[in-house]
A and B are shown apart, each in its own frame.
Chain A
Amino acid sequence: DTAVSQTPKYLVTQMGNDKSIKCEQNLGHDTMYWYKQDSKKFLKIMFSYNNKELIINETVPNRFSPKSPDKAHLNLHINSLELGDSAVYFCASSQEYFRPGQGHTEAFFGQGTRLTVV
């Protein structure tokens, strides 16, 4: 009954390859995210989708392309992998809560995919 699940957990691949990471959430949330955590553990948002629509696209190389077939799934495809892409990628989901004049986000994370490019 995992809430946010991503596969694979580990991915080792050679430079220049194309790879995909899949994410699914069963929380009924409207919004899903991809975050990248570097070797210093810094978490940075890459993309956010709300009801299959891209709403946040940080400065990420074009080689990264997210795809959301439905609001419960958000996949990340990476073309022409580079050494610097090695990191842990986290999928997350959230449901917005609204109070007068304010929106609030509580994001729930998957276990992460450790990508190693060699």
Chain B
Amino acid sequence: GQQLNQSPQSMFIQEGEDVSMNCTSSSIFNTWLWYKQEPGEGPVLLIALYKAGELTSNGRLTAQFGITRKDSFLNISASIPSDVGIYFCAGQLSNFGNEKLTFGTGTRLTIIP
């Protein structure tokens, strides 16, 4: 089936550093979502993108919907310890709704003290 590849697979950074990750698809989407999952919890929605080229922020997080509609990017500025977790992208191609979300392989973020 369709897969979304996220990179990097894992990141080890120091507190205060900026973080960039991306997600690429073999086919186009018309919705991109970014989720964060902490240990023992379910994924929590961070940012939703609906239009090619769209740039959306949520606090220190900024995500972009790629122009080709086959990729998306997430940036975290000035990382803090609570940013630790696994970040997932998810894409949907839906004209009428109720189409499934396809999830990426995840980027695991670790902050080095």
Chain A residues at the B interface, C-beta cutoff of 8 Å = 4, 31, 41-45, 48, 50, 55-56, 58, 90, 92, 96-99, 101-112
Contact = CB atoms under 8 A, between A and B. Distances in A.
B31 A104 contact: yes
A105 B95 contact: no
B50 A99 contact: yes
B56 to A, nearest CB: 13
Contacts of A110: 42
Tell which of A41, A43, A111 has the most Cβ of chain B within 10 Å.
A43
Nearest to A59: B1
Contact of A96 (B41, B97, B106): B97
Interface of A (DSSP majority class): strand
Contacts of B98: 31, 48, 50, 55-56, 96, 103, 105
Interface string B62-91: 000000000000000000000000101010
A109 B96 contact: no
20 contacts: A31-B98, A41-B106, A43-B88, A43-B103, A48-B98, A55-B98, A92-B42, A98-B97, A101-B95, A102-B50, A103-B94, A104-B30, A104-B92, A105-B31, A105-B94, A105-B97, A107-B90, A109-B43, A109-B44, A111-B42
